[in-house]
Amino acid sequence: MKQLITARLLVREWEVDDAAAALAIYGVEKVARWLTPAMGEVADEASMRLVLQAWVEDQPNMLPPRGRWAIERRDTGEVIGGLGIRLLPPYEEDLELSWQLRPEAWGHGYAVEAGEALVRWAFTQEIDELFAVARPSNTRAIATAKRLGMAWVGETDKYYNLRLQVFRLRPSDLSDH
Ligand SMILES: CC(C)(COP(=O)(O)OP(=O)(O)OC[C@H]1O[C@@H](n2cnc3c(N)ncnc32)[C@H](O)[C@@H]1OP(=O)(O)O)[C@@H](O)C(=O)NCCC(=O)NCCS
């Protein structure tokens, strides 16, 4: 999937030159504290370029709907967030949808708008469910999962050795509009 267009956003593949904008997402504590321990908080633009380079190189080898994408505002062209779909460790059976927005872009419905477009595409790729996981105190992520139509399925510590709330989305959970 190269790109998706929504009313306000473009979801597209990452480029190494997105490093400055990406650092405003993955280099800030307010976002990074909720991400997987493996990702951590990116220290500077040079490190961000290396991360993006790895993502760009990985992308063609990831079996759809797996991948990582940037969220761009169509009106300003600025990159405000990222989206990912990956297999959850350690069993690598469940597909996880994740979202990250720079804090200045919170509170506008961008995660749900971009996420909905991505999952509609993902469900054309021979999958019938997607999961999202969030720490119990990550109220914003939990609210976004619910806004997307995801159903709460329970709490687990099987992923990442963290106590996490688990949400699941099936095609029938999406609204018809
Ligand atoms: C999780 C995260 C992406 C949610 O961001 P968000 O902006 O709250 O997400 P949403 O797209 O669901 O937006 C909902 C907010 O926009 C408001 N909003 C404004 N216009 C809207 C619209 N057109 N549609 C929907 N919501 C709208 C809602 O009222 C709500 O605001 P509120 O939280 O003040 O009640 C963000 O907090 C983040 O990046 N967190 C750190 C990373 C993280 O935890 N990711 C999840 C685990 S990977």
| Beta-ladder partners of 10 | 5, 72
Cβ of 107 below 6 Å from ligand 1: yes
Predicted pLDDT at 90: 87
pLDDT reading at 154 higher than 80: yes
Instruction: Report the candidate in 134, 86, 136, 81 with the shortest Cα–Cα distance to residue 111.
Output: 81
Cβ of 111 below 6 Å from ligand 1: yes
Q: Over the stretch 50-68, which tens digit does the pLDDT of each residue have? A: 999 999 999 999 999 999 9
Q: Taking residues 124-135, what's their average pLDDT?
A: 96
Give kind and range of the element (H or E) at residue 135. none
Tell which atom from ligand 1 comes closest to the C-alpha of 35: 48
Domain boundaries, the chain: 3-173
Q: Which residues contact 66 (CB under 8 A, 6 or more apart)?
A: 85, 86, 87, 95
Tell which atom from ligand 1 comes closest to the C-alpha of 110: 11
Predicted pLDDT at 85: 97
Predicted pLDDT at 175: 78
Please report which confidence band the pLDDT of residue 146 belongs to, taking 50, 70 and 90 as the band edges: very high
Predicted pLDDT at 159: 87
pLDDT reading at 152 higher than 90: yes
What dotted CATH number matches 3-173? 3.40.630.30
Q: Is 98 helix (H, G, I), strand (E, B) or coil?
A: strand
Instruction: Report the candidate in 50, 121, 113 with the shortest Cα–Cα distance to residue 85.
Output: 121
pLDDT reading at 2 higher than 90: no
Predicted pLDDT at 57: 97
The residue whose C-alpha atom lies closest to atom 13 belonging to ligand 1 is: 109
Q: Is 36 exposed, middle or buried (0-12, 13-18, 19+ CB in 10 A)?
A: middle
What CA–CA distance (Å, rounded) separates 88 from 109? 25
pTM: 0.96
DSSP 8-state class, residue 88: P
Predicted pLDDT at 177: 64
Give kind and range of the element (H or E) at residue 131. strand 130-134
Q: Taking residues 40-48, what's their average pLDDT?
A: 95
Q: What are the phi and psi torsion angles at 24 (to 5°)? A: -70, -10
